[in-house]
Amino acid sequence: MLVARQPLYQPQPPLHTPKKKSQPKKKIVGVSDAEKRLILISVLVVALSSLGMVWRFASINDLQTRVNQLQKQVTLLEKENATLTIEQRRLSSPRQIETRANAELGMQWPAQEQIVNVLGVAPGH
């Protein structure tokens, strides 16, 4: 006759069943008015601080933009100043003044007979 082999270990029912410990119910405690005020004040302080920081960064950004614009304007004005300085030197040369006086104003050097001697000294002495 054939007999089925049984496993060597067979689970045994526990001798006693452990009982679950019932955890005491937590009491729901209301928040007092003072605590509510403290929480509200804390939230307001954090919110106002955050708004202050955002405003500060926005103003810094605006100022940086303005500084950049002014730096560009200074660069343009320096270039214009250099150009005007060169033009002023060119136009203030004696040769340029004489040329413009002859061309635009019709001025000429005086002839010998047009020179009036005021001090009694002959010209060229």
Helices 33-91 + 94-105 axis angle, to 10: 80
Indicate left, alpha or beta for 29 from its phi (over 0: left) and psi (-120 to 50: alpha): beta
pLDDT at 117: 81
- For the chain, give every domain's residue range: 43-107
Where is mean pLDDT largest: 9-18, 46-55, 115-124? 46-55
What one-character DSSP code corresponds to residue 114? G
pTM above 0.75, yes or no: no
Question: Comparing 38 with 16, which gets the higher pLDDT?
Answer: 38
